[in-house]
Every structure is written in structure tokens, then in C-alpha cells.
């Protein structure tokens, strides 16, 4: 099928603009990124700069791929990363608009590649359990209720791609941050540092320049792992509880 | 005990003496220590932040060393360990089904077709339980039962249930655990993290590894980093086949550059071809997708008995017209035979013309019986996310139509040769995880990669590295102004310059694809001498063509993914030849290495223990000179070597 791609180019000879590319022969079984591979091979053979985009596992789990496709992070399908979108969902003659994830805290590096290291810094601020190697007791010494472990897993399934930020009109990272807060707050292992963790992570999130949450819930709608906004409610609750604790308790 | 005596004076495996079950305890009791005040004076570089790298960097940071961790990704969490689906083995015996450290050790040795070093494997089995404890303490949400305790499942090649899992995303959860441990050390200042930096060379001074040369992928700047020891945890080289289940960016560059600087490469021809992957659908294809081996617990593998049913709707093919060939050929293990055996059996079926689908390169994996027996809900609970992934890629619904699967390159057992302490043949240079050759022999069992990566990083290297570093406490800071650093940096810059200035007509991608075809056809699931000799010539020619007609757009002093890819493919073009040399030299079949000349009447792999019970360790001799083969003899003293049988 014949498609037109309207792609954001930035860096190198491009100051920041949309450029149109025609692809005459797209196979419906191709993945979206394989289509971009084909485009890039053509650009390289014409000695033009290929379109930079991030990708790695192409199995929907590493969180590298991004792209806002026709206005939606990770494209049109629910619960799907860009790498898992296949061209059979498009039609002859379609024009597809491809942009990077846009947010103040995700500066553009080149074309469709953005810097998401702010997410790493949020995790570094407290998204862990402080347990050195070798300190652990037997794994079965602390039972965890199956359903509770399941809820924790649902939050831990976040792949750190940043679609929640790209979807949010405020470029808020509340869904990402709250998913980590929930993952650990729902497990017995995460209890000791619970209050300290939420205070630090929220502070870091603000420092990175992410916006506030105004309950639009676009983050949940676009999350490729369908992480629930219930996590944001839990984070707010955790945060509020923590602020009532005395400083000595948290330090 | 299996004292891996070196047949060559250079190859000393350094396995401790004593009873197999006491070696590691004995070693730990006597290994030299580095005192806390001295650890502060010692710098360690870790290259790669997957399971092995993140766990090693975090653990070394906790110990008090100054650690620098490098990843070419934007974040440590992107490493390909994240994609492992099925699980992680541990000899916990929580099921009371007869498991033990010895069983896990034995299964791993047998699964590896008696080509792994006994002392390393026993240590792996010993520390396996601690890995699960550590991960649970970090908050890894493993699957649990209603009583709140951990659940297990069985996995290919074993008869006990020792696999711990986190839905179909075990690798993701374990990596996030290690990533969080690493992040904690970053926040404490013990680890300095360099993302988007790729290692392009190792620097040795007076025979010792003293640092690395990296390229900052954002600016293109080539930088020098010094340390008292360097640990390479850069994963495997399956992408030499172009199409594999590896992530797109997985590559051999770090291990290959170390090899060129003097680290021997162990068993390069041992490649694991995973039996359950989604078949190739077209020539635009960029990668293959694995379907977890756990599917074989409930799915039944079959092909039609007659080639005329190749394209028939599988649901219309009567039971009596189907050949459940794994159940027929291997009744004791059935669909749960190890990966190499399941893969080869699929190839045999397709070679006989019974492969299904348009390409004829696929077999069915059928869940109809499981759905009938357990109900759709139970099947969905166990495999829901995998079924969904399959449907997204193929457009078929596996609850209704059997899956179509075919083997694909998945893991490389070979890697940098390391001794018992995980040190390569360059003093001060270590390799962990898939980057080393160590524990899996000629074939890796399912759910053992995660185990090995974390064993190396959490529980082995932090002990063994002290043995070397205890002699470095008075070395002082290593200066990057040393002429060897200057020389190495210059060589890296020259090579980059060369890659960007060829100005030819063909893309890196096209060379990579051609290399992959050669490797898959001639050094893939089945190999023979004639094909391998031909492959070597074809690769040499391809390499010449690459260096004279490559086209790399863009500049070297900017973010340039095409340049990164070109460097990596250039290294693959050298490694591919070594893999073929190794496969040619190994005149036997074992595990993932199947030489057509060496098979039993039933078509099973035929080992030659008399002449080939050794690790091949290749020494780089220069670009146009054949590598030199060294041997580490494997002597089995604990396990009785037997013909591997799963019938």
C-alpha cells in the first residue's frame, strides 16, 4: 500500500520542521518500525540523513520506542507500544503524522529521539528498597497475599517509556512515578522506606520540570501497559500520609 | 571433581581443589580481601547494565569500590535482559519434588551436553537460592500461590519444578530489581552512571587491563576512562545472524574489542536456537519474536503427517493425520525436551516437507487440548500476555487456531573465555553474564540465563574480583594520560574516520543482512565442513566489500546511529568468521552445535568425548591471520559422562 509520512525532523540540517516522505510499497505485515527501517534504507541510499528514532527489543518491553503517531503516543491501538503496531491497521493512501514525545522534561535530541533520563533520576531519588546484596532472608519467610502481589505487579509492569508524559496536557509524570510508589508500597518489603520514598520521588519529579496532574487521565488511556490512574490516587494518599509524619520519622 | 586443567600453559581455569560441593565455600574462605579503607582507592569499570552488569555494579558499589557503569542505552533499564519471559531457576526445592543443588548442577551439566566446567556450574547451583532471596527482598513481584508463598513451574529439560517466574515478564522484573539497586548506588555516589556511552576499546598497560575507550553517542566525543579492573557485561552476539530474538542493538563490540586486545574467545560456535519463535514473514523483517518456552508445558507441537495438508486449516486436520513428533520421538520428556533438541526436530520436520504455512518453515504449537482440559480461563491466566503478543504480530488468535512457530537464534553460549574467577586472559579484565562463555556448555537450559547473569553479578564477581584487586591497593590512581590510552584513543578515532570516509554505495543494514544469511545457512541449526569452509570465504569477501563500498551518512562528531551500527557490523564481520572456524574445528556434534557428519542413526547429536572434551579458546592473531586455538581440557570427576538422552 502507498503511504505518506509526515515526520518531525530536528537537528543536523533541520531546524525543526515536518518533512513529507512517500512510501510506495508498504507491506501490511510489516511493523511500524520496520516501515521506518525501509524509509531509512531509502534515505541512506539517496545519501540523505536517516530519521533518528529509538527502538531496541521490538517486543514491547524495553520501553525504548516512543513516537507520537497521528497525535497519539505509541499510535492508535490500546495497550500497545509503537514497535508492536503493524501496518495492517492502515489503509492505502493514508497520511501518517509522526512526532517525538514532547515535554519540557524530555528535551529533543534529534528528530524523534528525546532525552528521558529524568525518569532515571526520579528512580534514583528513592524508587528502590535499600537492601544490599547478601542481606536477604529466605524468600518464603514473608508471605505476600496473592492478590496484593498481583496489584503490585500491575504497577511494576511500567516500562518507563514516557507515553504518560507525552499524553498529558500538563506533561505530568504522575503515572510513571505513582506506578513505582505503588509497586513498592503494596509489598511488605517496601514498607520501611515508604514515606521517605514518596516524598523524595515527588520532589524530584517537580524538580525535573514535569507538570501537575489535573485528572485528564490521558496517561492511562495511552499507557502501553495499561497502568491504572488508581496508582496516582494511591500516591496522593501516600504523600499526604507522609507529610503528616514528623521529620524525625522520615529522615 | 572436575578440575579443569589447562592443556596449555596459558589456560589456567584456576578451579580450586577439593570436593566439588566444598570448592566455593573453600574458595570464599581463603580468597584475599580488600579492606574498606582500600576499596575507596580502587576504581572499577562495568560495561553494560543488564542483569549481570547492573547487579555487579550495584554490588561492587555497596562494597565500597568506586564504580563507573557504562551503557549505550538511554537508561540502564533498556538492556535486553528485560525481554526474558519464562523464569529463573533456583534449587530451592520449595515443591518438595526432589530438587537439590546437585540436581540443578547435574541438569545444567547434562543440558550443556557435558561441555561446561563442573566447578563453575556447581557454584552456580549453590548460589541460585540466594538470588531468589535477594530479588524478593528488592521487591520483585514473583508469582505467588494463595498461601502467599512463591509459585514455581517446570521448564524444558528438567523433571522438577524449580522455575520462579513473574507472569511472562520475569526478565523485566528482575532487571528492574537490579536497576533499582544500581539506582540506589548512583544516588549514594558509589556508582557513576554513563548512559549513551559505548565502549569501543580496552586499554592495557604492561599486560594489565587499565581502562576503556568509549564514544559519547550524543556528541560523538571519544573519551578515556581508567580503572584498576574492567568488567564486561555486554551480553551475547546472536545478532551476528541478523535475524534473532535479540534486541536490535545487541552486539559483540565490547567482547570483540576485548578479544582483539588479547582476551581469548571461548566456544564461539555454540549458539542456541530457540524452538518457539514466531516464523519469518517477509524480507523486510528486522527481528524475530520469541514465544516463551513455558508454552511447551501446555502446548503440543505437531505437523501434518502428509505434505498435502501443509496449507490445510489445522482445525480440519484429524487427530490421526497429525504427527506429534516430540511426544513420539521423546516419550519421557515429550514437548519438554531441551531447546536444541526441540529446534532440530522442527527443522527435520520442515526439511521433510511437512512445515506449515506459506514459507513451509513453521510447525504448530496447539493449545486446543489444554483449553479443553483446564478451561480457557486457566490458559489465559498462564499465557494471556503471550497469546496477545502473538495475535498482535500475526493477526491470528491462538485460542482458536494453533500457533505457528519456528526456531530462531536466541542466545550464545560462547563468549569471552574466563577462569573460575570470571577473569579473562587479560589480567584485570572480567566478563560476566552472557558475555562470558562459562556455565552453559554447548546448550543452555531454559530459565538459566537469568540465573547465571545474576549469580555472576551479585554473588560471584564481588568475591572473586577481590583476589585481583587486593594486589592493586597501592597502585594509586591510574592516569588516562598514559601513552597506551593515547594510542588506543587514536586507533578508535582512526577507525571511526575510516568508516565515515569510505563513501561507498551500500548501507550497513544491507551488509548485516547478507552476513546473517551466510551465518544462518551455513553456521545455523546444522553445519557441515563444506558449508563452513565456503562461509569463511564468503565472509572474508563480504568484509572486503564492506570496507570498500560502505555508505555511512552523517558526521562522526554528532549523534549518528548509522555510524554506531556500522562499527558494530564491522565487528560482527570478524566474529562471524571465527564462529565458522570454531564450528569447523569441532568435528563432533554437541548441544547447539550440530555437525551433519556426526549424528547417530536416529539423527541425534553424536559427541566425541575422546577428542573434543575441551573448551575452545581462540586467540586473536591479527586481521588477516587465522586465530590460534587453545584448549581447556574438561575433566569430569563428579558427574558420570553419558550420552545425553531424553527418550
Dihedral angle at the C-alpha atoms of A5, A8, A9, A14, nearest 10 degrees?
110
| Best A27, A139, A184 residue to mutate vs chain B (most B CBs within 10 Å) | A139
Torsion, CA A88, CA A93, CA A99, CA A101, rounded to 10: -30
Is residue A12 less than 8 Å (CB to CB) from chain B?
A: yes
Domain co-membership, B284 together with B373? yes
C-alpha cell at B378: 486457566
B498 and B596 in a single domain? The answer is: yes
Of the candidates A89, A81, A90, A38, the residue with the CA atom closest to the CA atom of residue A56: A81
Helix (H, G, I), strand (E, B) or coil at A119: helix
The predicted structure's pLDDT at residue B581: 98
Q: Is the dihedral of CA A65, A69, A71, A77 positive or negative?
A: negative
SS3 B564: helix
> Helical H runs in A130-193?
146-156, 163-167, 174-185
Give the CATH number of the domain where residue B394 resides.
3.90.700.10
Q: What parts of chain B have a pLDDT lower than 50?
A: 1-8
Q: Could you tell me the maximum CA-CA distance found in chain A, to the nearest angstrom?
A: 66
Neighbouring residues of B626: CB distance < 8 A, sequence distance ≥ 6? B581
Nearest CA distance, A3 vs chain B (angstrom):
16
Which residues in chain A have Cβ-Cβ distances shorter than 8 Å to B389?
A: 59-60, 84
pLDDT at B5: 43
Smallest Cα distance from A110 to chain B, Å: 8
C-alpha distance from B289 to closest chain A C-alpha (Å): 7
CB within 8 Å of chain A, chain B residues 174-203: 176, 179-181, 183-184, 186-187, 193, 195
Q: At what angle do helices A146-156 and B170-188 cross, to 10 degrees?
A: 70
Q: B314: which residues sit within 8 A by CB, 6+ positions away?
A: B304, B356, B364, B366, B401, B402
**CATH second-level architecture of A3-99?**
Roll (3.10)
Phi first, then psi: what are they for A109, rounded to 5°? -95, -50
Of A49, A64, A115, the CB nearest to B554: A49
Alpha-carbon distance of A32 to B444, in angstroms, equals 33
Nearest Cα neighbor of A197 from B110, B546, B187, B631 is B187
Distance to chain A for B516, nearest Cα, Å: 17
Give the Å distances, CA to CA, from B520 to B255, B348, B463. Answer: 21, 16, 39
| The model's pTM | 0.96
* C-alpha dist (Å) from residue B588 to A122, B52, B595: 53, 31, 6
Give the whole-angstrom CA distance, residue B251 versus residue B242. 10
DSSP lists the bridge partners of residue B124 as none
Give the model confidence (pLDDT) of B490-524 as tens digits. Answer: 999 999 999 999 999 999 999 999 999 999 999 99
Question: What gap in Å lies between CA B233 and CA B598, rounded to an integer?
Answer: 34
Q: Which residues of B touch A126 (CB under 8 A)?
A: 187
- Specify if B229 maps to a domain: no
- pLDDT value for A77: 95
CA A175 – CA A216 distance, rounded (Å): 12
Q: Is A34 at the interface with chain B, CB within 8 A? A: yes
The set of residues, in sequence order, having a beta carbon less than 8 Å from that of B233 and lying 6+ positions away, is: B46, B47, B48, B49, B50, B52, B53, B56, B431, B432, B433, B435, B453, B456, B457
Q: At what angle do helices B170-188 and B51-63 cross, to 10 degrees?
A: 30
Residue A212 C-alpha, separation from nearest chain B C-alpha, in angstroms:
24
User: Which residues lie across from B364 on neighbouring strands?
Assistant: B302, B404
Does A61 sit within 8 Å of B172, measured CB to CB? yes
Which 3-state string (H, E, C) describes B68-84? EEECCCCCHHHCHHHHC
Quick check: A47 pLDDT over 50?
A: yes
One domain, residues B279 and B403:
yes
Cell readout for A221 is 488511556
* A residues 206-235 closer than 8 Å to B (CB): none
Answer yes or no: is B49 within a domain. Answer: no
Contact A133, B128 (CB under 8 A): no
- The contacts of residue B228 (CB under 8 Å, 6+ apart) are B42, B43, B44, B210, B428, B469, B472, B475, B478
**How far is B583 from B9, CA to CA, in rounded Å?**
24
Cα separation values, A108 from A15, A104, B569, Å: 12, 9, 27
Nearest to B133 among A109, A139, A187 (CB): A139
Q: Domain limits of chain A?
A: 3-99, 117-250
Query: How many other CB atoms sit within 10 Å of the CB of residue B373?
Result: 11
- Please pick, among B78, B224, B296, B339, the residue that the annotation labels catalytic: B339
A190 to B389: CB separation less than 8 angstroms, yes or no: no
Nearest CA in chain B to A127: B180
A180-216 pLDDT tens trace = 999 999 999 999 999 999 999 999 999 999 999 999 9
Residue A21 and residue A19: Cα distance in Å, rounded? 7
Q: Is the dihedral of CA B156, B157, B158, B162 positive or negative?
A: negative
A163: helix, strand or coil: helix
Chain B residues touching residue A31 (CB < 8 angstroms): 286, 393
Phi and psi angles of residue A22, each rounded to the nearest 5 degrees, phi first: -100, 130
| Rounded Cα distance, B613 and B607, in Å | 9
CATH number of the domain where residue B550 is located: 1.20.58.100
pLDDT of residue B1: 38
In B, minimum Cα distance to A191 occurs at B139
A160 contacts B77? CB cut-off 8 A: yes
> Helix A146-156 vs helix A174-185: angle between axes, to the nearest 10 degrees?
150
Instruction: Determine the pLDDT at residue B166.
Output: 94
CB proximity list for B549: less than 8 A, separation 6 or greater: B502, B504, B505, B506
Mapping DSSP to helix (H, G, I), strand (E, B) and coil, where does residue B189 land? coil
3 state SS of B421: coil
Question: Which residue, among B144, B197, B391, would best test binding to A if mutated, counting the most A CBs under 10 Å from its CB?
Answer: B144
* CB interface of B with A, residues 249-278, below 8 Å: 249
Q: What is the pLDDT of residue B283?
A: 84
Q: Is the domain of B498 the same as that of B379?
A: no
Cβ atoms of A220 and A229 within 8 Å: the answer is yes
Is the Cβ–Cβ distance between B572 and B523 less than 8 Å?
A: no
Q: Which domain holds residue B600?
A: 483-612
Give the pLDDT score at B638.
95
Q: What is the rounded CA–CA span in Å between residue B343 and residue B408?
A: 8
Contact yes or no for B76 and A49 at CB 8 A = no
Chains A and B form CB pairs within 8 A to the count of 216
Strand positions, DSSP E, chain A: 3-11, 14-23, 68-69, 72-73, 95-99, 108-110, 113-114
CA distance B387 to chain A (A): 13
User: Cβ–Cβ of B58/A133 closer than 8 Å?
Assistant: yes
A193 touching chain B per CB within 8 A:
no
Whether B443 maps to a domain, the answer reads no
Q: Are residues B489 and B593 in the same domain?
A: yes
**All residues at 6 or more sequence positions from B199 whose CB lies less than 8 Å from its CB, including other chains:** B47, B70, B212, B213, B214, B232, B234, B253, B254, B257
Q: Are residues B490 and B598 in the same domain?
A: yes
Surface of B (373-392) touching A: CB under 8 A: 389, 392
CB-based contact B95:B160 (threshold 8 Å)? yes
Helices (H), B169-238: 170-188
- Given pLDDT bands bounded at 50, 70 and 90, which one contains residue A246? low
Q: Would an 8 Å CB–CB cutoff place A149 in contact with chain B?
A: yes
- Among candidates A29, A57, A187 on the partner chain, residue whose Cβ is nearest the Cβ of B247: A57
Q: Could you give the CA distance from residue B567 to residue B198 in angstroms, rounded to a whole number? A: 11
Give B393's contacts in chain A (Cβ within 8 Å).
31, 84, 86
Cβ atoms of B303 and B323 closer than 8 Å: yes
Which of B294, B237, B242 lies closest to B266, judged by CA? B237
Q: What is the pLDDT of residue B86?
A: 83
pLDDT of residue B10: 63
How far A91 CA lies from chain B's nearest CA (Å)? 16
Taking the Cβ of residue B462 and every Cβ of chain A, the question of whether any pair is shorter than 8 Å is answered with yes
Q: Residue B452 has what pLDDT?
A: 98
Kindly tell me the number of DSSP H helices and DSSP E strands found in chain A: 9, 7
| B-contacting residues in A 116-145 (Cβ below 8 Å) | 116-117, 119-120, 123-140, 142-145
How much is the average pLDDT of A219-242? Answer: 97
Our CA-based measurement puts residue B460 at a distance from the nearest CA of chain A, in whole angstroms, of 11
Could you tell me the fold of the domain covering A117-250? Fumarate Reductase Iron-sulfur Protein; Chain B, domain 2 (1.10.1060)
Residues of chain A contacting B136 with CB distance shorter than 8 Å: 136, 139, 142, 189
Cell numbers at residue B536, please?
569463511
List Cα–Cα distances, B350 to A73, A225, B353, B553, in angstroms.
41, 36, 5, 41
Tell me whether residues A58 and B147 touch, CB distance under 8 A. no
B150 CB within 8 Å of a chain A CB: yes
Residues 495-514 of B with CB under 8 A from A: 505, 507, 509-510
State the alpha helices, DSSP H only, in B139-217.
170-188
Q: Supply angle C-alpha A59, B157, B136, rounded to 5.
A: 60
> Torsion angle, CA of B62/B68/B69/B73, rounded to 10 degrees?
150
Please tell me the total count of domains within chain B.
Answer: 2
A26-35 mean pLDDT = 95
∠ Cα B555 B556 B562 (to 5°): 75
Q: How far is CA B584 from CA A116, B534, B536, B597, B609, in A?
A: 46, 11, 10, 11, 17
B339 is catalytic: yes
| Structural contact between residues B385 and B289, judged by C-beta atoms closer than 8 angstroms | no
For residue B249, what is the nearest residue in chain A, using CA coordinates?
Answer: A56
Is the CB of residue B395 less than 8 Å away from at least one CB of chain A?
yes
Sheet containing A72-73, strands listed edge to edge, beginning at the edge strand earlier in sequence: A14-23, A3-11, A95-99, A68-69, A72-73
Question: What are the pLDDT digits (tens) for A80-128?
Answer: 999 999 999 999 999 999 999 999 999 999 999 999 999 999 999 999 9
Amino acid at each position: 500500500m502507498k503511504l505518506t509520512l509526515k515526520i518531525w525532523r530536528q537537528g543536523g540540517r533541520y531546524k525543526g520542521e515536518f518533512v513529507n516522505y512517500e512510501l510506495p510499497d508498504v507491506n501490511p505485515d510489516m511493523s511500524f518500525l520496520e516501515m521506518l527501517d525501509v524509509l531509512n534504507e531509502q534515505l541512506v541510499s539517496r545519501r540523505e540523513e536517516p530519521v533518528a528514532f529509538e527502538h531496541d527489543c521490538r517486543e514491547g518491553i524495553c520501553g525504548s520506542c516512543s513516537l507520537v503517531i497521528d497525535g497519539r503516543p505509541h499510535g492508535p491501538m490500546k495497550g500497545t507500544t509503537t514497535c508492536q503496531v503493524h501496518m495492517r491497521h492502515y489503509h492505502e493512501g493514508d497520511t501518517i503524522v509522526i512526532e517525538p514525545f514532547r515535554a519540557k522534561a524530555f528535551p529533543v535530541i534529534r528528530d524523534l529521539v528525546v532525552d528521558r533520563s529524568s525518569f532515571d533520576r526520579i528512580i534514583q531519588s528513592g524508587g528502590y528498597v535499600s537492601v544490599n546484596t547478601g542481606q536477604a532472608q529466605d524468600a518464603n519467610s514473608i508471605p505476600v497475599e496473592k492478590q496484593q502481589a498481583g496489584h503490585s505487579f500491575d504497577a511494576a509492569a511500567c516500562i518507563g517509556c514516557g507515553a504518560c508524559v507525552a499524553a498529558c496536557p500538563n506533561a505530568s509524570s504522575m503515572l510513571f512515578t505513582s506506578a513505582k510508589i505503588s509497586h513498592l508500597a503494596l509489598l511488605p518489603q517496601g514498607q520501611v522506606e515508604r514515606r521517605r520514598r514518596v516524598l523524595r520521588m515527588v520532589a524530584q519529579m517537580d524538580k525535573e520540570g514535569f507538570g501537575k496532574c489535573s485528572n485528564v487521565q490521558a496517561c492511562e488511556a495511552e499507557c502501553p501497559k495499561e497502568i491504572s490512574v488508581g496508582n496516582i490516587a494511591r500516591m496522593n494518599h501516600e504523600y499526604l500520609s507522609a507529610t503528616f509524619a514528623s521529620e524525625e520519622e522520615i529522615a | 571433581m572436575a578440575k579443569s586443567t589447562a592443556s596449555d600453559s596459558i589456560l589456567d581455569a584456576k578451579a580450586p581443589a577439593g570436593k566439588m560441593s566444598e570448592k566455593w565455600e573453600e574458595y570464599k574462605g581463603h580468597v584475599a580481601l580488600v579492606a574498606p579503607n582500600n576499596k575507596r582507592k580502587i576504581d572499577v569499570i562495568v560495561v553494560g547494565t543488564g542483569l549481570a552488569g547492573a547487579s555487579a555494579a550495584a554490588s561492587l558499589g555497596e562494597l565500597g569500590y568506586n564504580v563507573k557503569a557504562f551503557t549505550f542505552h538511554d537508561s540502564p533499564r533498556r538492556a535486553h535482559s528485560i525481554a526474558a519471559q519464562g523464569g529463573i531457576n533456583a534449587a530451592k526445592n520449595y515443591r518438595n519434588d526432589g530438587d537439590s543443588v546437585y540436581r540443578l548442577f547435574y541438569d545444567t551439566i547434562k543440558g550443556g551436553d557435558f561441555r561446561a566446567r563442573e566447578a563453575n556450574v556447581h557454584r552456580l547451583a549453590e548460589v541460585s537460592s540466594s538470588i531468589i532471596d535477594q530479588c524478593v527482598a528488592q521487591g520483585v513481584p514473583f508469582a505467588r500461590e494463595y498461601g502467599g508463598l512463591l509459585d514455581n513451574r517446570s521448564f524444558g529439560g528438567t523433571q522438577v519444578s524449580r522455575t520462579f517466574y513473574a507472569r511472562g515478564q520475569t526478565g523485566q522484573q528482575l532487571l528492574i530489581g537490579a536497576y533499582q539497586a544500581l539506582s540506589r548506588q548512583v544516588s549514594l555516589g558509589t556508582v557513576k552512571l554513563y548512559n549513551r556511552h559505548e565502549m569501543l576499546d580496552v586499554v592495557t598497560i604492561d599486560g594489565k587491563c587499565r581502562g576503556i575507550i568509549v564514544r559519547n553517542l550524543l556528541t560523538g566525543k571519544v573519551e578515556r576512562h581508567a580503572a584498576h579492573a574492567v568488567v564486561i557485561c555486554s551480553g551475547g552476539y546472536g545478532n551476528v545472524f541478523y535475524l534473532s530474538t535479540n534486541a536490535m542493538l545487541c552486539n559483540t563490540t565490547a567482547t570483540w574489542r576485548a578479544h582483539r586486545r588479547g582476551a581469548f574467545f571461548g566456544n564461539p560456535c555454540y549458539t542456541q536456537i530457540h524452538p518457539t519463535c514466531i516464523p519469518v514473514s517477509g524480507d523486510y523483517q528486522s527481528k524475530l519474536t520469541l514465544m516463551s518456552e513455558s508454552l511447551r508445558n501446555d502446548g503440543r507441537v505437531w505437523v501434518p503427517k502428509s505434505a498435502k495438508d501443509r496449507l490445510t486449516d489445522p482445525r480440519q486436520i484429524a487427530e490421526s493425520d497429525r504427527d506429534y513428533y516430540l511426544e513420539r520421538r521423546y516419550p519421557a520428556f515429550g514437548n519438554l525436551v531441551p531447546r536444541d533438541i526441540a529446534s532440530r526436530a522442527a527443522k527435520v520436520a520442515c526439511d521433510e516437507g511437512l512445515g506449515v504455512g506459506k514459507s513451509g518453515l513453521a510447525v504448530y504449537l496447539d493449545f486446543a487440548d489444554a483449553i479443553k482440559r483446564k478451561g480457557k480461563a486457566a490458559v489465559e491466566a498462564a499465557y494471556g500476555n503471550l497469546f496477545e503478543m502473538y495475535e498482535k504480530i500475526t493477526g491470528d488468535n491462538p485460542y482458536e487456531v494453533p500457533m505457528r512457530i519456528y526456531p530462531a537464534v536466541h542466545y550464545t553460549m560462547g563468549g569471552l573465555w574466563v577462569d573460575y574467577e570470571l577473569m579473562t586472559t587479560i589480567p584485570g579484565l572480567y566478563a560476566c553474564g552472557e558475555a562470558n562463555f562459562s556455565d552453559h556448555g554447548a546448550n543452555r537450559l531454559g530459565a538459566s540465563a537469568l540465573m547465571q547473569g545474576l549469580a555472576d553479578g551479585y554473588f560471584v564477581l564481588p568475591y572473586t574480583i577481590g583476589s585481583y584487586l587486593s594486589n592493586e591497593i597501592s597502585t594509586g590512581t591510574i592516569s588516562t594520560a598514559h601513552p597506551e590510552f593515547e594510542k588506543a584513543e587514536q586507533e578508535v578515532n582512526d577507525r571511526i574516520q575510516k568508516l565515515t570516509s569510505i563513501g561507498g554505495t551500500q548501507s550497513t543494514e544491507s551488509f548485516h543482512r547478507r552476513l546473517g544469511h551466510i551465518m544462518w545457512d551455513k553456521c545455523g541449526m546444522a553445519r557441515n565442513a563444506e558449508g563452513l569452509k565456503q562461509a569463511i570465504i564468503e565472509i572474508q569477501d563480504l568484509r572486503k566489500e564492506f570496507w570498500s563500498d560502505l555508505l555511512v551518512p552523517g558526521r562522526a562528531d554528532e549523534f549518528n546511529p548509522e555510524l554506531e551500527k556500522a562499527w558494530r557490523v564491522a565487528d560482527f564481520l570478524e566474529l562471524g568468521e571465527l564462529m565458522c572456524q570454531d564450528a569447523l574445528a569441532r568435528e563432533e556434534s554437541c548441544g547447539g552445535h550440530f555437525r551433519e557428519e556426526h549424528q547417530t542413526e536416529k539423527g541425534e547429536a553424536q559427541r566425541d568425548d575422546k577428542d573434543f572434551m575441551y573448551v575452545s579458546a581462540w586467540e586473536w592473531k591479527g586481521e588477516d591471520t587465522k586465530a590460534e586455538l587453545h584448549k581447556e581440557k574438561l575433566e569430569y570427576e563428579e558427574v558420570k559422562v553419558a550420552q545425553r538422552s531424553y527418550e
